[in-house]
Amino acid sequence: MTLEVGSADIIQLAWARHLGLDDDAFTAARSAGTGPSARITRADESERCVQFVRIFGTSALVGPQWVLDAAVGIPDEDLAQHVTLLTITRSHGGHGLGAAALFFADDLPLLQAPQELTVSHGEQEAIQLEGLCPPDDVNEVGLSDLENRFTIMRGDDGNRVPVACGAYAEWEGILAHMGVLVDPVWRRQGLGSLAASVAAHEALASGLTLQWRADVSNKGSLAIARSIGFAAGGIQTSVLLG
């Protein structure tokens, strides 16, 4: 699906605030044109996470001044590569957080379950689901940081067990930052898309614009975002300093 006119501005406003930039930072950069001279930068010597973000064609780099200096002259396409940030920060103990694709939506079609399912809003069900999933998946999704959870439950020998959870956290009162976790036993059956749809429509009903972040190597998460109608909007590349 395509975004409504103005949604890109709303998304960039949320990211400007998230990165500690002026509210109009992305708008001003767009007016300045393309190229390194139009890249938004913010120097913070106390910052331990270096972030490069490119959203709807406009980029921002946040980190210590020496990182900003080292990035001068490097094209955005290269800075978006995780290896580039690792190379720049290697002498300061830079280690990987990876590169993630960013997707957005301001409306989505509602998916219908093939049968009646129970949806839980409880914390314990989400914790139980995390215990059924690989640690790398649990860490990437971060259900514990997404306060609005919608866990799909299924019957198992008379008991209800969690099989998938769609969740979101509110960013800057503007975006619903989403995540989905599915029990490996129940993957490839559409439950991830269904859980995402439930959470997404709850967030839309609250007046939020949707954001989906997926590691560029996570084919399952990328596929869910595309299948339910999210539009590609950019990339976020990050490293931690030692």
Q: Per residue in 25-53, pLDDT tens?
A: 998 887 766 554 579 999 998 888 999 99
Among 23-27, 99-103, 119-123, 237-241, which is the least confidently predicted range? 119-123
- The tokens describing 77, both together, are 């396409």
Distance of CA 37 to the CA centre of its chain: 27
Strands 148-156 and 118-120: antiparallel
pLDDT digits 0-9 by tens, 109-126: 877 776 677 888 888 998
Gap between the Cα atoms of 14 and 134, Å rounded: 31
Round to the nearest angstrom and report the end-to-end CA distance of the chain: 41
Residues 202/170, Cβ–Cβ less than 8 Å: no
Gap between the Cα atoms of 210 and 107, Å rounded: 8
Torsions phi, psi of 129, nearest 5? -65, -40
pTM, 2 dp: 0.88
